[in-house]
Amino acid sequence: MKTHSFHLCLTSLAFLFVTERLTADWPQFRGPDGQGHSAEKGIPIHWREGENITWKTAVPGQGYSSPVIAGNQIWMTSSEDEGKSLRAVCIDKTSGELLHNVEVLTPEEAGPHHRLNGYASPTPVLDGKHAFVHFGPRGTACLGIAGKVIWKNTEFKYNAFQGAASSLILHGDLLILTCDGTDKQFLVGLDKHTGKTKWLQPRAHLERADASAQRAISRMAYSTPLIQAVNGKPQLICSGAFHSAAYDPANGKELWWFPYTGFSIVGRPSYGNGMFYIVGSIRQDHFCIFAVRPGKGELREDQRVWQFSTGIGHVPSPILIGKEIYVVHDGGVAACVDALTGRELWRERLGGNHDASPVEIRGRIYF
């Protein structure tokens, strides 16, 4: 068995996972609101070895999931034995001590993955009493905060040939999965207490994917949904291949949708100013932000307020801050766009490569 480790540094910056609104928790991918915002005070803008680093600890295995925080626990996922041992890892937030390293699933076949992906990429989600972990078609599980596995579900099979990436989200007692494989595309609502299926909704509007020159893979996507109340009613917004759609999270029924061209969408949607800001594409691998007003059925042209497609990254999600939306391209160029009109306000090269999504803390953006 091959065993590797990666490193997690808890710095003062890592307290970007803290917000006053949810009592110092950062329980899901992109934080409490799912959009990358924190109101925490006293976050530094410089850190290095010996400065603003509280502790550093090795984490067993290999993993690409983001760490999530509830109370004094930090959870993430990892893999060992070349993907045949899928694990949930828990670290003490105060000391950096390894609390739990639980083998959750042991698939006979690890499955394929992209060279920039791994076997443990979807980010866990926490509710204060449980940690929910997901490994795409290999399965999903719930653990208690003491590290005991409560349930597992391995019934949803689909071909994620580049590896899994869409993260879990919670809505009340529902745990929602996004499964956009090359062969099957669907969303699932599980009872978070039992892991049993409450609803399953197949994707629609994929006819143009079958006409794509890359038909064999043209139905796949990797985005994480966002739940947002619209006129007092929650809507589940999820980008997929060749379209994005809103669903009723209570039963999975589609509410509205709009088309675009392309697949392999990654960015998570944002909401503000009465609009959803959704990452899609105008042609394959040319990604775009669409600003849309929610409606019913296929959105009208006047509900598609603007689109912006210059330098939109494949992997990093945009971040909406008031009436401005910020993006960073995978190649290291950042830009600011007027969120009401779609007009570019500025563009600047940061340098390096950027796969992580930016975070905003009290008016500062951390790329």
Q: Averaged over 136-162, what is the pLDDT? A: 97
* Average pLDDT of the chain, as a whole number: 92
Residue 103 has pLDDT above 80, yes or no: yes
On the CB side of 222, CA atoms within 13 Å amount to 23
Q: Is the pLDDT of residue 17 over 60?
A: no
Please state which of the ranges 39-43, 60-64, 180-184, 328-332 shows the lowest mean pLDDT.
39-43
Task: State residue 172's pLDDT score.
Answer: 97
Q: Is the pLDDT of residue 19 over 70?
A: no
In the predicted model, is pLDDT for residue 113 greater than 80? Answer: yes
Domain 172-367 CATH superfamily? YVTN repeat-like/Quinoprotein amine dehydrogenase (2.130.10.10)
Number of Cβ atoms within 10 Å of the Cβ of 30: 22
Does 177 score more than 60 pLDDT? yes
Q: What percent of the chain has pLDDT over 90?
A: 83
Q: Is the pLDDT confidence value at 13 over 80?
A: no
Q: What is the pLDDT of residue 5?
A: 45
Average pLDDT value for residue range 183-192? 98
39 vs 174, which has greater pLDDT?
A: 174
d(CA 238, CA 271): 12
More confident residue, 158 or 23: 158
User: What's the pLDDT score for residue 48?
Assistant: 86
Domain extent listing, the chain: 1-162, 172-367
> Residue type at 237?
I
Q: What is the 3-state secondary structure (H, E, C) of the chain?
A: CCCCEEEEEEECHHHHHCCCCCCCCECCCCCCCCCCEECCCCCCCCCECCECEEEEEEEECECCCCCEEECCEEEEEEEEHHHCEEEEEEEECCCCCEEEEEEEECCCCCCCCCCCCCCCCCCCEECCCEEEEECHHHCEEEEECCCCEEEEECCCCCCCCCCCCCCCEEECCEEEEEEECCCCEEEEEEECCCCCEEEEEECCCCHHHHHCCCHHHCCCCCCCCEEEEECCEEEEEEEECCEEEEECCCCCCEEEEEECCCCCCCCCCEEECCEEEEEEEEECCEEEEEEECCCCEECCHHHEEEEECCCCCCCCCCEEECCEEEEECCCCEEEEEECCCCCEEEEEECCCCCCCCCEEECCEEEC
| pLDDT greater than 70 at residue 140 | yes
Strand partners, 162: none
Residue 200 has phi, psi (to 5 degrees) of -140, 125
- For residues 65 and 76, the answer to whether their CB atoms sit within 8 Å is yes
**What's the pLDDT score for residue 99?**
98
* pLDDT exceeds cutoff 70 at 2: no
Strands 197-202, 5-11: parallel, antiparallel or unpaired by DSSP?
unpaired
Our CA dihedral for 179, 184, 186, 192, rounded to 10 degrees, sits at -50
Which of 77-91, 185-199, 208-222, 257-271 is predicted with the least confidence, judged by mean pLDDT? Answer: 208-222
At 30-88, the pLDDT tens digits run 999 999 998 888 888 888 888 888 899 999 999 999 999 999 999 999 999 999 999 99
Q: Are 160 and 138 in contact (CB under 8 A)?
A: no
pLDDT band at residue 20, thresholds of 50, 70 and 90? very low
pLDDT of residue 37: 95
Residues 1-162, CATH architecture: Beta Barrel (2.40)
Q: What pLDDT was estimated at residue 24?
A: 60
pLDDT (0 to 100) of residue 15: 33
Give, in order, the Cα–Cα distances in Å from 69 to each of 25, 72, 99, 127: 5, 7, 14, 10
| pLDDT reading at 1 higher than 70 | no
